């Protein structure tokens, strides 16, 4: 409760606490936090989970980062594995502190630069929006930042990428006479800067280099500022420039982020699809914009999910998001975003534009171009739809096209297909329910005896492997479930978590059920081995070793049966 209260203002309601949900827009509180169960649930949108899950969802963090963030919030230290990791953490803290100081320096410089202030005003920005994004100004000089901080900070500034060292060993400021845009990570730490030249000059935008803090291909500008609007709209618009993000926010389109001077990467797409159900990439409508959009499409293929949408917005000629929203306003931009081209339509349209689907040769080339793209899609329903679209264009049957493409069936992995509790709970479901509460017991599971192709059995194998490798904590249901967030078992584990939420089971009862389940697994395994040997004897006969093996298996089965008859639970 204390963790969530740092982000959402909670009010007591009986034994629980309530608030307006931070994950969707509402006026009447439907977001409930249960301190006793250490669980939150929204009756409006269905968002639910533990404290770690809340931080992952609210801050857009992965499991490990969320654990560290939670530990920091409650004043605990997460044990480091070795001194090298600990030293790295200390070094990172020093770099982050320097970036905070640099941000303050640039903001102070903006206040004393009428020219920079006038430039921002001409771009339609207010002081309020400039403060929200921490916008500053790097003065026009070679050593403004370097001299302000002094020689003692020179090495740290250099490691942060804020000063450059030339061939003769002299250092000078990287950013000069530029509007400065701080780049924040998911935890709102300043990790880099983007600098835009005032007026004419090249390069128009200058970004921080790769540093221990900053990796361009993984970060998105404006994500912390946009997070609330992204949740409220359940969509995120991806643009290409810092000024585009700020201008859109100035006009009320607050769910926009930008890539950092690089093409869209798979890491970007993975992060974006964790933020919202719809991701809209916004590009200029010219050839360069379509080329950039195609790169974004290719980066998206492996990360597509059936209940998420990736779409493409192409602006009218001679417009970027900044100019468009300033000229035509936020409603017009939102309308364009609502009419964005879905990824499937854009993919097919682009493939058609590269060949002549009227001729047999043209259709063959179209399908040949499509084959490696479709093979990368792991969203089964979307892939099936695209196969049908392409089969119609290629004038072949969908089943024939799947065969020609060499496509294998895919299991559903979208976020809305959580299995409902079964009336007659399967053996593996019972074991999974127990192992989620007692992951340390997974060491007792004979995984080689688990059935193949069973979702619960697959999840049990994964949990057993993770615990064997020291990746899961003992006795923490919430942390086990959150560890697998975003993976193929997410929906199944969420469903089992919900089944367990209101139940009270003492350890003795769980142990009895678990022992019985292990007994049944062994008997089923013995039965399969005995059946296989009996079948072989009918066809080709058994060797002497195989006969001895069969006799031993029959004795083991008889022993297990006699134990059951003497009072073992079934």
Q: Is 263 exposed, middle or buried (0-12, 13-18, 19+ CB in 10 A)?
A: middle
In this model, does residue 74 exceed pLDDT 60? no
pLDDT of residue 5: 79
Domain count, the chain: 5
Domain contains 560: yes
What mean pLDDT comes out for the span 84-103? 74
CATH of the domain at 69: 3.90.580.10
Looking up tokens 């049990």, which residue turns up? Answer: 460
Looking at 195, 212, 229, which one is the last position of a domain? 212
How many C-beta atoms lie closer than 10 Å to residue 302's C-beta?
A: 13
pLDDT value of position 376: 93
Tens-place pLDDT, residues 433-464? 888 888 777 777 888 788 888 889 999 988 88
What does the alpha-carbon distance between residue 352 and residue 362 come to, in Å, rounded to a whole number? 9
Model confidence pLDDT, tens digit, residues 313-326? 999 988 999 999 99
Same domain for 315 and 249, yes or no, is yes
Q: What average pLDDT does the chain have? A: 84
How far, in whole angstroms, is CA 284 from its chain's centroid?
27
pLDDT in tens, 411-422: 554 433 333 334
Q: In percent, how much of the chain has pLDDT > 90?
A: 43
Give the separation between CA 171 and CA 154, rounded to whole angstroms: 8
Is 294 within a domain?
yes
**Average pLDDT estimate for 63-72:** 64
Q: What pLDDT does 72 receive?
A: 64
Do the beta carbons of residue 311 and residue 342 sit within 8 Å?
yes
- Given this model, what pLDDT does residue 136 score? 97
Nearest to 298 by CA among 214, 372, 198: 372
Statement to judge: residues 456 and 498 lie in one domain: yes
Please choose, from the candidates 366, 385, 363, 383, the residue with its C-alpha nearest in 3D space to the C-alpha of residue 375. Answer: 383
Selected residue with higher pLDDT from 264 and 527 = 264
pLDDT at 300: 95
Task: Identify the pLDDT of residue 446.
Answer: 80
Least confident of 101-115, 387-401, 412-426: 412-426
**Residue closest to 58 by CA, chosen among 138, 13, 3, 115:** 3
Average pLDDT over residues 148-173: 91
Task: Clarify whether residues 207 and 222 are in a common domain.
Answer: no
Does 341 lie in the same domain as 231? yes
Contact yes or no for 285/315 (Cβ under 8 A): yes
Residue 359: CATH number of its domain:
1.20.50
Query: What CATH number is associated with residue 452?
Result: 1.10.860.10
Where would I find the H helices in 112-222?
114-122, 127-132, 144-149, 154-159
Tokens 């059995």 found at: 457
- Could you tell me the two tokens for 379? 């969203």
**pLDDT value at position 463?**
86
pLDDT at 201: 82
Residues 342 and 362 reside in one and the same domain = no
Q: Residue 101's domain is classified under what CATH number?
A: 3.90.980.10
Give yes or no for residue 245 having a pLDDT over 90: yes
Same domain, residue pair 204 and 102: yes
Residue 504 confidence (pLDDT): 59
Determine the pLDDT at residue 559.
66
Q: How far is CA 338 from CA 280, 282, 314, 331, in A?
A: 9, 12, 12, 10
What distance lies between CA 115 and its chain's CA centroid?
41
pLDDT in tens, 524-550: 878 888 888 888 888 888 888 888 888
Dist CA 324 CA 318 (whole Å): 9
- Burial degree of 27 (CB within 10 A; 0-12, 13-18, 19+): exposed
First CA to last CA across the chain, in angstroms?
40
CB 444 within 8 A of CB 521: no
For residue 193, the model assigns a pLDDT of 96
**Tokens representing 37?**
């169960």
Residue 217 in contact with residue 262, Cβ under 8 Å? yes
Output the CA–CA distances (angstroms, integers) from residue 213 to 190, 510, 539, in the order listed: 9, 46, 66
Q: Please report the pLDDT score of residue 89 as a whole number.
A: 46
Per this entry, what is the length of the chain? 570
| β-bridge partners, 181 | 194
Residues 341 and 227 placed together within one structural domain of the fold:
yes
pLDDT for the residue 561: 64
Decide if 414 is inside a domain.
no
Q: Which of 181, 212, 243 is where one domain is finished?
A: 212
Same domain, residue pair 233 and 291: yes
Please tell me the least confidently modeled range out of 60-64, 413-417, 520-524, 554-558: 413-417
Determine, yes or no, domain membership for 476. Answer: yes
Is pLDDT larger for residue 150 or for residue 193? 193
In this prediction, residue 562 carries a pLDDT of 60
Assigned domain for 420 exists: no
Asked which of 173, 189, 212 is the last residue of a domain, the reply is: 212
Cβ–Cβ contacts within 10 Å for residue 410, how many? 15
Give the pLDDT score at 319: 93
Q: Kindly state whether residue 229 falls inside one of the protein's structural domains.
A: yes
DSSP string across 204-251: SEEEPPP-SS--GGG--BTHHHHHHHHHHHTEEEEES-HHHHHHHHHT
Which residue bears the tokens 């060292």?
165
Q: Does the pLDDT of residue 64 top 60, yes or no?
A: no
Q: Phi and psi at residue 167, in whole multiples of 5°?
A: -65, -30
Tell me, yes or no, whether 433 and 532 share the same domain: yes
Q: Who wins on pLDDT, 312 or 32? A: 312
For residue 79, being part of any structural domain is answered with: no
* Distance from C-alpha of 56 to C-alpha of 69, rounded to nearest angstrom: 9
DSSP state for residue 188 in the 8-state scheme: S
Model confidence, pTM:
0.65
In this prediction, residue 466 has a pLDDT band, given cuts at 50, 70 and 90, of confident
Is residue 412 in some structural domain? Answer: no
Q: Is the pLDDT of residue 468 over 90?
A: no
Assign 83 a pLDDT band (cuts: 50, 70, 90): very low
Confidence of residue 88 (pLDDT cuts 50, 70, 90): very low
Assign 82 a pLDDT band (cuts: 50, 70, 90): very low
**Do 431 and 560 have their domain in common?**
yes
Q: Which residue has the tokens 């089971």?
A: 505
Alpha-carbon distance values, 506 to 79, 375, 434, 444, 501 (Å) = 31, 48, 11, 19, 14
Report which DSSP code applies to 303.
Answer: G
Q: What CA dihedral angle connects 483, 520, 542 and 540, to 10 degrees?
A: -80
Q: Do residue 269 and residue 358 come from a single domain?
A: no
Single out the residue of 348, 352, 325 nearest to residue 336, CA to CA: 325
Does the pLDDT at position 184 exceed 90? Answer: yes
Q: What's the CA gap between 183 and 209, in Å, rounded?
A: 12
- Asked if residue 371 and residue 327 are part of one domain, the reply reads no
CATH of the domain at 261: 3.40.1360.10
For strands 178-184 and 341-342, give the pairing.
unpaired
Residue 118 domain boundaries: 92-212
């Amino acid at each position: 409760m204390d963790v969530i209260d740092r982000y959402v203002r909670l009010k007591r309601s009986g034994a629980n606490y309530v608030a307006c949900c931070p994950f969707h827009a509402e006026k009447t509180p439907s977001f409930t936090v249960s301190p006793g169960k250490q669980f939150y649930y929204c009756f409006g949108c269905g968002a639910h989970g533990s404290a770690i899950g809340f931080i992952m969802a609210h801050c857009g963090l992965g499991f490990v980062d969320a654990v560290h963030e939670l530990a920091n919030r409650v004043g605990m230290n997460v044990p480091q594995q070795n001194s090298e990791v600990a030293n790295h953490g200390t070094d990172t803290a020093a770099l982050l502190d320097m970036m905070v100081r640099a941000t303050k320096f640039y903001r102070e410089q903006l206040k004393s630069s009428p020219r920079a202030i006038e430039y921002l005003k001409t771009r339609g920005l207010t002081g309020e929006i400039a403060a929200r994004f921490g916008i500053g100004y790097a003065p026009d000089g070679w050593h403004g930042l370097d001299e302000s901080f002094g020689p003692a900070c020179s090495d740290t500034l250099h490691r942060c990428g804020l000063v450059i060292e030339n061939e003769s060993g002299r250092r000078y400021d990287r950013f000069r006479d530029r509007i400065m845009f701080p780049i924040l990570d998911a935890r709102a730490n300043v990790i880099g800067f983007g600098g835009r030249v005032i007026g004419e000059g090249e390069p128009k935008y200058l970004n921080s280099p790769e540093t221990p803090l900053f990796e361009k291909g993984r970060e998105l500008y404006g994500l912390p500022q946009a997070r609330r609007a992204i949740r409220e709209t359940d969509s995120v618009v991806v643009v290409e420039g810092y000024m585009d993000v700020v201008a859109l926010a100035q006009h009320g389109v607050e769910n926009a982020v930008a890539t950092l001077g690089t093409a869209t990467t798979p890491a970007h797409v993975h992060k974006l699809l964790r933020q919202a159900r719809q991701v809209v990439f916004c590009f200029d409508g010219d050839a360069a914009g379509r080329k950039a959009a195609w790169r974004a499409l290719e980066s998206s293929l492996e990360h597509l999910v059936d209940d998420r949408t990736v779409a493409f917005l192409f602006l009218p000629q001679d417009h970027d998001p900044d100019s468009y929203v300033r000229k035509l306003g936020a409603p017009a931009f939102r309308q364009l975003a609502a009419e964005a081209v879905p990824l499937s339509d854009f993919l097919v349209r682009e493939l058609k534009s590269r060949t002549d689907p009227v001729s047999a040769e043209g259709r063959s080339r179209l399908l040949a171009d499509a084959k490696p793209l479709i093979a990368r899609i792991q969203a089964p329903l979307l892939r099936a739809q695209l196969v049908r679209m392409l089969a119609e264009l290629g004038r072949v049957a969908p089943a024939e096209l799947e065969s020609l493409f060499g496509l294998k069936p895919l299991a559903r992995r979208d976020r809305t297909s959580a299995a409902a509790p079964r009336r007659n709970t399967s053996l593996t479901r019972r074991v999974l329910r127990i192992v989620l509460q007692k992951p340390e017991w997974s060491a007792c599971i004979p995984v080689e005896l688990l059935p193949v192709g069973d979702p619960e059995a697959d999840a049990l194998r994964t949990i057993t492997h993770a615990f064997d490798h020291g990746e899961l904590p003992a006795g923490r249901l919430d942390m086990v479930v959150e560890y697998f967030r975003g993976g193929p078992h997410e929906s199944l584990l969420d469903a089992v978590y919900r089944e367990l939420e209101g139940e009270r089971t003492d350890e003795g009862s769980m142990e009895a059920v678990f022992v019985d389940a292990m007994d049944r697994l062994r008997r089923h395994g013995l039965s399969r081995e005995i059946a296989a040997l009996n079948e072989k004897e009918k066809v080709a006969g058994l060797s002497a070793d195989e006969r001895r093996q069969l006799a031993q298996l029959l004795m083991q089965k008889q022993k297990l049966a006699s134990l059951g008859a003497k009072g073992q639970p079934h």
